[in-house]
Structure 1
Amino acid sequence: MTFMFKAIDHIQLAAPKGSEDIARKFFKDILGFIEIEKPEALKKNGGVWFAFGNYQCHIGIEEPFSPAKKAHPAFEVENLEELKKHLITKGVDVIEDNKLPGAKRFYISDPFGNRLELLEWINK
C-alpha cells in the first residue's frame, strides 16, 4: 500500500439542537476538556469543539438526534479511580466493567445519552 493511517484526528459525538451549553457544562466543567473555537465556516452548523492532550472531541448537532448507546469512544485516563470519585460527586452515573484483561474501566453517558468508556491500563 502507498498510504498509511497515522492517528485519529478527532472524534465526534452527536447532540440535539441547542445543547451547546449543556455540552460545555459536561465536557469542560466536569471532564476538564478545553473548549476550542470552531472554524468560522462551520459555526453555522452549531455544536462545540473540545481538546484534551493532543486530541479533539467534537460535539455535532444531529437532527433528528439519537444517542450512541453501544458505539463509543474509549478515553485512556491516568488516575482512573480519582476520576471516578470526581464523576460520582458531580452526579454522573458510573457503570463498572471488569471484562477487559489488563485494564480497569467503567462507562458513563454524556448528557445526551452517548456512551463513553474510560479506562486505565494496569500493565502498560
Structure 2
Amino acid sequence: MPGLVALDHVQLAMPAGGEDAARAFYTGLLGLPEVAKPPVLAARGGCWFESAAVKLHLGIEADFRPARKAHPALLVDDLAALGVLLGAAGHPVTPDDALPGTARGYVDDPFGNRIELIQA
C-alpha cells in the first residue's frame, strides 16, 4: 500500500505587504534562512523559509485571519534562551506545561499566527 514519506512544508498565511516583518521574525529571530520562491509563485508575494530540517512558507491571503489553533510545532535546542530573545523583540513566549516532561511554549508571529516551540 502506498504511504506518506515525510512532511514537505507547512504554509501559513500573512497579510499583503508583510514580507519584511516575516523576514525579521523567521530569519532574524528564529534563524530560518529565506529561499527564493519560483518566479511564477514569487509574483503572488509571500516568502519561503527553509533549513535542512524545516520548510515554512508564508503566503498572502486577501482576507487574512491569523491561525490561532492550527499551528506548526518547531523543535528548538534551547527554549529558555530563545524565549528571552523572542521576548526582548516583542514576541513573548507563553510557557505550557500541559505535557509532563515536555518543555514547550507558544509565540505569535508578527501576524498573530500561533507557533509552538518544543525543547528538543
If the length of structure 2 is used for normalisation, what is the TM-score? 0.94
Task: Determine what percentage of the aligned residue pairs are the same residue.
Answer: 46
Q: Does 2:91 correspond to 1:97? A: no
What residue in structure 2 maps to residue 53 of structure 1? 52
Gaps of 5+ in 1: none
What residue in structure 2 maps to residue 21 of structure 1? 20
Q: Does 2:72 correspond to 1:73? A: yes
What residue in structure 2 maps to residue 109 of structure 1? 108
| Residue identity in the other structure for 2:108 | S
1:85 is displaced (CA, Å) by 1.5
Q: Is the 8 A contact 2:45 2:60 kept in 1?
A: yes
Q: Does 2:31 correspond to 1:32? A: yes
Q: Which SS does the other structure have where 2:103 is aligned? A: strand
Query: Distance in 1 between the 2:66 and 2:86 partners?
Result: 20
1:49 is displaced (CA, Å) by 0.3
1:101 is displaced (CA, Å) by 2.3
Show CA shifts across 1:87-120 (max 9, x none): 1222212111100122100000000000000011
Structure 1 segments, 4+ long, off by >6 Å, are none
1:41 is displaced (CA, Å) by 1.2
Q: Which SS does the other structure have where 2:104 is aligned? A: strand
Query: Distance in 1 between the 2:59 and 2:8 partners?
Result: 15
Aligned length: 120
1:74 is displaced (CA, Å) by 0.3
Going from structure 1 to structure 2, the CA distance change for 1:40 and 1:65 (only over 3 Å counts) comes to: same
Gaps of 5+ in 2: none
1:6 is displaced (CA, Å) by 1.0
